[in-house]
Amino acid sequence: MSGVKVVRFSDIEINSYNFRKPLRNVGNSYIAKTVPKPRLLLQLTELKSPNGIILVDRKEFLTLKIDKITELYHFFSNIDEYIIKYISDHSSEWFDEEYTVQGIETTYKSTVGVSSMLRMRIPPKKKDNISVFDEERNALSLEQIVKGTKLIALIELEGLRFLRSQVLPIWNLIQCKVIKEEAKLDMSQYLIIDENADDDDEEVLEPTEVLEPTESANSVPMPTEVLEPTEVLEPTESANSVPMPTESANAEPMPTENANAVPNPETENLEISVEDIIEDLDADFMDSIETL
């Protein structure tokens, strides 16, 4: 942008700030405007707004918390020291009277202060020109900056305001990007991993029902009855089955004894010899009785 320079606070040269002679403003205040050569827009780090946008004397301000141990805090402290020295060096020109650094320090209001709070003004006439974006560069409204919002701001040092007994720098909000905060872990919930946690997390599958196959025109029917291995089924005759052999009128009879059988000579001789032996025994027995 022509005439505008955006710089990170760590890259800025503090002595590049210069101020014009204070001019009377509305009321009893005087304002020393910053010399715009070029106009410096200061980019801050990610900060948290503890109160969001507040209203003080019908004027709107955005507050940001800055830790004292951060580099940004020391940067603003250095700016305050530079401004105090600048006023002292130009006091004769501006007020026709010399003011020492110690004298100005008693009336100067630090940018951050004891509360470590940076307060940026939202000028009523420039409020509509203040742009607010999210991390995807989508446009937001100032009303979406609430208590606890984290953001990165572009601010501008408009000048110095001189009151009757106080001197303070004027920091205006120019633009900001709202940072979406990650969901916080609820530490009050039970987070410990138990030994049986894996078993509990596993889904237990119930046994599913086995569907019986249904017969269709083209399907092969499944057997519905399971036969016991000890049961033997008798074969049944059918039109296409092969009949088991049975006795018939034309079947050749099994060999049996008949009257026309050929005698075995050995068997016949054996039978005669036994009879002869019995007769001989009986004759010997009778002879023995007669002798007695």
Least reliable range by pLDDT among 128-132, 164-168, 256-260: 256-260
What mean pLDDT is reported for the chain?
79
Q: What is the mean pLDDT of residues 246-253?
A: 48
185-197 confidence digits (pLDDT tens)? 788 888 899 988 6
8-54 confidence digits (pLDDT tens)? 999 988 998 999 999 998 778 999 999 977 889 999 999 999 999 99
Of the pLDDT bands very low, low, confident and very high (cuts 50, 70, 90), residue 115 is confident
Percent of the chain residues topping a pLDDT of 70: 66
For residue 147, pLDDT over 90 is answered with yes
Euclidean distance between CA atoms 45 and 154, whole angstroms: 10
Topology, domain 4-179: OB fold (Dihydrolipoamide Acetyltransferase, E2P) (2.40.50)
Answer for the pair 71, 129: CB distance below 8 angstroms, yes or no: no
Instruction: Give the pLDDT score at 209.
Output: 55
Instruction: Give the pLDDT score at 105.
Output: 95
Least reliable range by pLDDT among 18-27, 98-107, 209-218: 209-218
The β-bridge relationship of strands 30-33 and 117-122 is: unpaired
Adjacent-strand bridge partners of 161 = 31, 168
Instruction: Give the pLDDT score at 270.
Output: 45
The β-bridge relationship of strands 30-33 and 150-162 is: antiparallel
- Spans of all domains in the chain: 4-179
Contacts with 189 (C-beta within 8 Å, 6 or more apart), sequence order: none
Euclidean distance between CA atoms 160 and 25, whole angstroms: 11
50-86 confidence digits (pLDDT tens)? 999 999 888 999 999 999 999 999 999 999 999 999 9
